[in-house]
Structure 1
Amino acid sequence: MNELIIETIHKYEKPGDFTHAEVTDEMIANAEAILNIKLPEQYITFLKMYGHGGIGGLEVMGFGLTGRMIFVDATLDYREDDLPENLVVIENVDEWLTCIDCDTGKIVSWDFSGYIKEDFDDFDEYLISQMNDVIENM
């Protein structure tokens, strides 16, 4: 994971911003098996370090304290609304979902009409951008 991300989280994190769930390789493998995808390493690192959450109201889906796979539940729910099988939901932004394209590692926006827009080249780029937006508005 990018050092800037770690430093930024360390500087701005408040109690309760992240679950800091203990995420194991077995939990990751289980999530990947359920969704029939391979998660990018950058996102796996985030999951293992922070579990679920974000600074300043940003909420990146991950694992809850009880081990609940929040991102898996959301992805399965939206697959019923025709979310493509290669996308994994990491953030719900009301009008659209922010997803990881597990075929390319890119971060995309998806809406219920089926429109997909590439937003970022990878998870770290997405997280840095989102955190910078939050910090600017603090």
Structure 2
Amino acid sequence: MSNIQKAFKIIERNIDEADFVGAVPIEVINNCQSDLNLKFPKSYIEFLSNYGLGDIFGEEIYGLGVEEVGIPHVKWITLELRKDVNLPNHLVPIYNTGYDNEYYCLDCSKISDSEDDNAPVISFISADESEQEYELIEKDFGTFLYKLLKEAME
């Protein structure tokens, strides 16, 4: 079983603790990818297709399925950070750590198609570009979500 499937099991077993908007149509996901001029990794597309966006155990995951007027809308926050703090175009913020404007982002630079899951989760701190370290957090979105939920449950 993949890590994204394990994460979905945690969500389903703890649905009373969760607040997700629900499934997002693939057309909406494709439009967002087109508007951001990049491709999402497979595991993130699965998350959007099943849950859209929302939170569980107080952990908010950015996504799609609500009006595009602020957090947690992934297109809105991506465009805002591109404009305000020069977020590189291949990064997509999916989670705010709560510390010093630090976001965990999908690095979508190597994604070739919708079956590709080669997008590590890295940290981005909206600060001076010369100080940016881009620390690797997890190898993919599914692993990130699974570990985040596992830790949040403990």
Question: Structure 2: which 5+ runs fail to align?
Answer: 111-118
Corresponding position of 1:63: 64
Runs of 5+ in structure 1 lacking a partner? none
- Where does 1:1-138 land on structure 2 (aligned, <5 Å)? 2-14=4-16, 17-20=19-22, 22-66=23-67, 70-80=73-83, 81-94=85-98, 95=100, 96-104=102-110, 105-113=119-127, 114=129, 115=132, 116-136=134-154
Q: Percent of counterpart pairs with the same letter?
A: 30
Distance 1:76 1:17 in 2: 25
Report the AA paired with residue 74 of structure 2.
Answer: F
- Give the alignment's TM-score, normalised by structure 1: 0.88
TM-score, normalised via structure 2 length: 0.80
> In the aligned structure 2, how far is the partner of 1:97 from the partner of 1:56?
18
Write the deviation string for residues 48-101 of structure 1: whole angstroms up to 9, x where unpaired: 100101310111111234577800000000011111100001112232011100
Q: Once the two structures are superposed, what CA deviation does each residue of 1:30-62 show, in whole Å capped at 9, x if it has no partner?
A: 101111000001000000100101310111111
Bigger share in strand = 2
Give the drift of 1:28: 1.1
Change (3 A) 1:35 1:127: same
Instruction: Give the aligned length.
Output: 135
Aligned CA RMSD, in angstroms, stands at 1.9
Q: 1:71 to 1:56 in 2, by over 3 A?
A: same
